[in-house]
Amino acid sequence: MNGKKLREKWSREFAQDHLPTSVSAAVAAANAERTPSQGAQSRRRTGRLNILYFSPFPSHPDNHGNQATIQSFGKHFQRLGHKVHFALLNSSMFDSAAAGAMRETWDTLDILPNTHPLEATGNPIPFDDWYQEGLGEEIGGLCRKYDIDLVFCSYVFQSKLLEYVPSHILKVIDTHDKMGNRYEMLCRNGQPLEFFSCSPEEEGEYLRRANVVVARRAEEAMYFDDVSGRGTSIVIPHVETPRFVEKSFSQIENVGVVASANRINLAVVLELIRSILRQQGDNAVPFTLHIAGQVRDMVELLPDERHYFFKPWIKLHGFVPDIQEFYSAMDLVVSPITMGTGINVKTVQALAYGMPLLSTAWGSKGIETSEPMHLHANLDSLSKSLFDICRNPLRLQLLAAASRAIYEKFYNDTVRSIDLLMRKVRT
| 190, amino acid identity | G
| Residue 158 pLDDT level (bands cut at 50, 70, 90) | very high
In this predicted structure, what is the pLDDT of residue 159? 97
In degrees to the nearest 10, what's the CA dihedral of 166, 143, 161, 345? Answer: 120
In this predicted structure, what is the pLDDT of residue 306? 92
pLDDT in tens, 302-358: 989 999 999 999 999 999 989 999 999 999 999 999 987 778 888 999 999 999 999
| Residue 26 pLDDT level (bands cut at 50, 70, 90) | confident
In this predicted structure, what is the pLDDT of residue 3? 47
Cβ atoms of 59 and 86 within 8 Å: the answer is: yes
Q: Which comes out higher in pLDDT, residue 182 or 79?
A: 79
Question: Over 50: is that where the pLDDT of 7 sits?
Answer: no
87: alpha, beta or left, given left = phi > 0 and alpha = psi -120 to 50?
beta
In this predicted structure, what is the pLDDT of residue 275? 96
Distance (Å, whole) CA 354 – CA 348: 10
Mean pLDDT confidence for 237-250? 92
DSSP state of 149: S
In this predicted structure, what is the pLDDT of residue 8? 45
Q: Across all residues in the chain, what is the average pLDDT?
A: 90
| Residue 121 pLDDT level (bands cut at 50, 70, 90) | confident
In this predicted structure, what is the pLDDT of residue 196? 92
| Residue 18 pLDDT level (bands cut at 50, 70, 90) | very low
Asked if domains 3-236 and 254-411 share a fold, the reply is yes
**Residue closest to 233 by CA, chosen among 242, 224, 241:** 224
pLDDT in tens, 371-426: 999 999 999 999 999 999 999 999 999 999 999 999 999 999 999 999 999 999 98
Question: Over 70: is that where the pLDDT of 14 sits?
Answer: no
**Residue closest to 238 by CA, chosen among 52, 68, 84, 124:** 68
Query: What 3-state DSSP class applies to 30?
Result: helix
Query: What 3-state DSSP class applies to 143?
Result: helix
Query: Which class is 254-411 in CATH?
Result: alpha beta
| Domain coordinates in residue numbering, the chain | 3-236, 254-411
Strand partners, 50: 83
Distance (Å, whole) CA 236 – CA 366: 10
In this predicted structure, what is the pLDDT of residue 392? 94
In this predicted structure, what is the pLDDT of residue 23? 54
Query: What 3-state DSSP class applies to 12?
Result: helix
Q: What is the DSSP string of 74-139?
A: HHHHHHTT-EEEEEEE--TT--HHHHHHHHHHSSEEEEEP--------SS---TTTT--TTHHHHH
Question: Over 80: is that where the pLDDT of 92 sits?
Answer: yes
pLDDT in tens, 261-304: 888 899 999 999 999 999 987 778 999 999 999 999 999 989 89
Cβ atoms of 71 and 178 within 8 Å: the answer is: no
pLDDT in tens, 185-242: 888 877 778 789 999 999 999 999 999 999 999 999 999 999 999 999 999 998 989 9
Q: CATH second-level architecture of 3-236?
A: 3-Layer(aba) Sandwich (3.40)
